[in-house]
Amino acid sequence: MSGNFDHRIERKGTGCIKYDRRPELDPFWVADMDFVSAPPILEALHRRVDHGVFGYAQPHDGLNEAVFAYLRERRGVEIPLEHIVHLGGLVPALSLAVRAFCNGGAVMTCTPVYPPFVGVHQDSGSRLITIDHVMTDLGWGFDWDAMERAVTPDLRVFLLCNPQNPLGRVFTRGEIERLAEFCERHDLVMVSDEIHCDLIFDEMATPHVSALNLPEKFRSHVITLLSPSKTWNIAGLGYAFAVVPDDSLRRRFSAARGHTLAEINALSYYAAEAAYRHGESWRVELVEYLRGNRDALVDFIARRCPTLKVAAGEATYLAWIDARGMQVENPAKHFEEKAGLFLSDGAFFGWPGFVRFNFGCPRERMMEGLEKMAKAL
């Protein structure tokens, strides 16, 4: 299966937020890619559209079988059907978890992190505790001492992003087990968002350790969130799922939905099935291409942008760039005004002075964006 990742597709004017929110700017911000999705997904959607009826939908047998196969082959676990909660997206799942377990209490997460992590506490009138990631021998990691000092009696939930967005870290088994032990000791629900887990550049060197792979003793405190949306570029179709082994946890999590979430759309189930069932060879080609983009980006910034710093991420198509050396108040605003670029502002992730650059695009287009950054310095 060949994905033509160098092919450039005009997205402006199609109603996508990446290009049409600020159409006067060249966008490298929101985390979707500029690639056509995998051919089996397009074929599955065409077949479903040809049926012509789009009533209320539920997960069909083919989707469940594909999810089970994915969990078995990629995550190494066998999960019974009743442990799975189907959802219309990962961000609603974060909000559900906070509303279910933290109502009026406190939620902890480590920054910098995907912006909804530092906003969902507001959905339940809860309090946010943030701890900065710190540089360790392994790369960006957890500040265990600071986390312990920040624990309060009303702390209820820990939100984990693994692989980490925007840092690109893939946490080790030791780190994940230590975090699970921290959550168990303080009676916290650990919510593990693993949406980027199939976008790891070297799975031998940095294998993904899912919360699903934790020892049995921790599973009563864990919710694992997964989705094909980032990997196969189908985020706009809105499908994700949670795996919640503990019955009590699962009931409380599901009950928090109330009447606040829309039905999952009929097309998304078939796109997800095709991704998990037939999309693996396309995914492998994609990761190889993204690895090349990452390497080219890191090399370019080292050679051409002396006031910027970036580490080679282990996963995702997102580069976290330290722009504090520019000595400007808002680097994202600077690149907007001087280069016409739309980058993600690090302040929204909890770390002002940084920018996030999305390199999930044809390499030629990425290099054009990087040239604009260099000229704006």
Instruction: Give me the CATH number covering residue 153.
Output: 3.40.640.10
Domain extent for 146: 54-278
C-alpha 198/C-alpha 123 separation (Å) is 29
Q: How many residues does the chain have?
A: 377
Please report the pLDDT score of residue 71 as a whole number. 98
Tell me the two tokens of residue 67: 């999810």
CB 180 within 8 A of CB 192: no
The pLDDT of residue 2: 61
345 and 310, same domain (yes or no): yes
Both tokens assigned to 45? 């959607």
**233 three-class SS:** coil
Claim to verify: residue 168 and residue 189 sit in the same structural domain: yes
For residue 10, the model assigns a pLDDT of 96
| Same domain flag for 58 and 185 | yes
The two tokens of residue 53 are: 């009826």
Instruction: State the angle between helix axes of 363-376 and 280-304 in degrees (0 to 180), rounded to the nearest 10.
Output: 20
Asked whether residue 12 is assigned to any structural domain, the reply reads no
46 is a domain residue:
no
Q: Quote the number of domains for the chain.
A: 2
What's the one-letter identity of residue 318?
L
Run means of pLDDT, 10 residues per run, the chain, 377 residues: 85 97 98 97 98 96 97 96 96 96 94 97 96 93 98 98 98 98 98 98 98 96 98 97 97 93 94 98 98 98 98 98 97 98 98 98 98 97
d(CA 18, CA 34): 10
Q: What is the pLDDT of residue 138?
A: 85
Answer whether residue 7 is part of any domain.
Answer: no
Does 296 lie in the same domain as 231? Answer: no
pTM of the model: 0.97
Question: Do the Cβ atoms of 153 and 185 come closer than 8 Å?
Answer: no
User: Residues 252, 193: one domain?
Assistant: yes
The DSSP result for 94-162, as a single string, is: HHHHHHHH-TTSEEEEEES--GGGGTGGGGGT-EEEEEE-EEETTEEE--HHHHHHH--TTEEEEEEES
